[in-house]
Every structure is written in C-alpha cells, then in structure tokens.
Amino acid sequence: MAGLFDLTGKTALVTGARTGIGAALAETLAQAGADVVGLGSRTMPETRAAVEAHGVRFHEIIRDLEAGGDFAALLADAADRFGAPDILVNNAGIIRRADLVDFTEADWDAVMAINLKSLFFLSQAAARDWIARGVEGRIVNIASLLSFQGGIRVPSYTASKHGVLGLTRLMANELAGKRITVNAIAPGYIETDNTAPLRADPVRSRQILDRIPAGRWGLPDDLKTALLFLAAPGSSYVTGTVVPVDGGWLAR
C-alpha cells in the first residue's frame, strides 16, 4: 500500500512554501520521497530543514509573484539547477480585508495578481513543458471555502478563489488528454497567518468554531492526505475535482 503514494524520483514545486500550508505541503511531498523546489517571497530556512530532514533535496526560489514575470524561464532555471518539476502545487495566496465600500483598487490588484494570475501563468508554463517533453504532470491548486461562498469583507480574495476553482476545471478539461491532472484542495478555517486576525477576535472566532462540526480550527497538517491523494502516480483518472478539508463546514 505504501507504494500508492510513493513520489521517489519526482520533483515538486510548491509556491508560498515559507510558512503555514505551503510549508506543511512541502514537507508532505518530501516525506513521500519527492525533491522539493520551494518558491517564496523570502528565504525559508525552516522549510528547507523540514524537507531535508527526510533525506531529499530542497531548492529555494525567491520570487515576488505579484510582479509576474517569465514563468517559463523560472521553470527552466529550476530544471537546470535542480531538476524539472513533475508536480506543481499552487499554494501562494494573500488576503486583504475591508468593507466593500472601502476596498481599494490596490488591494484588489495585489490579491488577484498572486492568487489567480500567477497561478494560471505558472500552470501554463508547467503544462507547456510537460507536453513538450511528453511526461505526466500533476497540478494541485489551493482553493478555499470561499470558492463556494461569498464571505464578508474579502471581495478580491473571494473573487480570486472562485477563479481558482473555475481555472482548475478549465485546465483539467484541456489537459486531461495530455496526461496532466489538475485538481484543487479547498481548506477550511486553518491556523495560518491569513486567519490570525479572525482567531484573535474572540467573537468572530467563536462564531466560526460554532459553525464547524469538528469544533476546532484546522491545522496545515490536515491537508497532507488530500495532497498525497491528488499528487499520487495512481491518481491519473482523478482530474477537475476539488477536495474540501474543512471539518464539515460545507456540510452544515
């Protein structure tokens, strides 16, 4: 059974790998045997240590995804220095909170650039490379509960995460015949930097916990099994789907 999730010999690129969900997912892939390329806006010594502790290699790319740029060149450089990625985990994301009537264009553009635009063009670059080389590929996008719901005070985040789910399905439709699967994980309320303001607000935190059947905030490690399932070599017939990891939030 262990071989079902064996990623030995694979290379995975994880965006937003410095902390939180990205760091946990990078370590998960390392535990399964994959070498890991971590992309983040700053250096990530903790992620490096966690990955390398499992006897695999780690390569760091410092990149501000809001600035966009040539993602094909980024992948080519990673391949030259480390090895071409077989798995892409689009995890990088930011959130800006303000009332609808006060939300700024700058906050809208920043969130959309990182959460949606960079996800599409990095996926496009990876898909082009895999198709040209005739290899299988796995894309796993990190969606959100707000891929399904409206939320409050997070208009650009909600729009971007609805977009992530839509692009997951579109890319799956176009790439399935190329031996590339595209799926998404929709985390619930997870203990990360993005949810720190909510957890620090006793009223809002209690409202959220009362709505979660599991009765607790999720942890980044709660997403590990979903990632292994979607990245596994044997999951070639699973594409265009989203796996909620939300403690039952969407069921209530």
**Whole-number percent of the chain with pLDDT over 90:** 94
Residues annotated as part of the active site: 157
Banded model confidence at residue 81, pLDDT cuts 50, 70, 90: confident
72 domain residue, yes or no: yes
Whichever domain contains 139, its CATH number is: 3.40.50.720
Across the range 124-130, mean pLDDT stands at 98
Average pLDDT for the chain? 96
pLDDT of residue 216: 96
Across the range 71-98, mean pLDDT stands at 95
**pLDDT score of 89 more than 90:** yes
pTM summary value: 0.96
- Angle, CA of 94, 107 and 45, to the nearest 5°: 30
What letter would DSSP give residue 113? I
216 domain residue, yes or no: no
pLDDT of residue 9: 95
What SS3 state is found at 239?
Answer: coil
159 domain residue, yes or no: yes
Phi, psi of 232 (to 5 degrees): -65, 145
pLDDT of residue 2: 63
Burial readout 28-42 (b: 16 or more C-beta within 10 A, e: otherwise): bbbbbebbbbbbbbe
210 domain residue, yes or no: no
For the stretch 204-216, pLDDT in tens is 999 999 999 999 9
Banded model confidence at residue 1, pLDDT cuts 50, 70, 90: low
200 domain residue, yes or no: no
Residue 31 belongs to domain spanning? 2-190+223-242
**pLDDT score of 4 more than 90:** no
Lowest mean pLDDT among 46-50, 176-180, 201-205: 201-205
Residue the block writes with tokens 């959309």: 112
199 domain residue, yes or no: no
250 domain residue, yes or no: no
For the stretch 59-70, pLDDT in tens is 999 999 999 999
206 domain residue, yes or no: no
Bridge-based pairing state of the strands 58-62 and 87-90: unpaired
What SS3 state is found at 4?
Answer: helix
pLDDT of residue 3: 78
Distance CA 38, CA 87 (A): 12
Distance CA 108, CA 120 (A): 17
What SS3 state is found at 61?
Answer: strand
Distance CA 14, CA 170 (A): 21
Q: Give the dihedral of Cα atoms 94, 97, 101, 102; nearest 10 deg.
A: -90
pLDDT of residue 107: 98
- Strands (E) located in 133-239: 137-142, 180-187
pLDDT of residue 116: 98
Domain count, the chain: 1
**CB 157, CB 115: distance < 8 Å:** yes
Across the range 123-132, mean pLDDT stands at 98
For the stretch 133-187, pLDDT in tens is 999 999 999 999 999 999 999 999 999 999 999 999 999 999 999 999 999 999 9
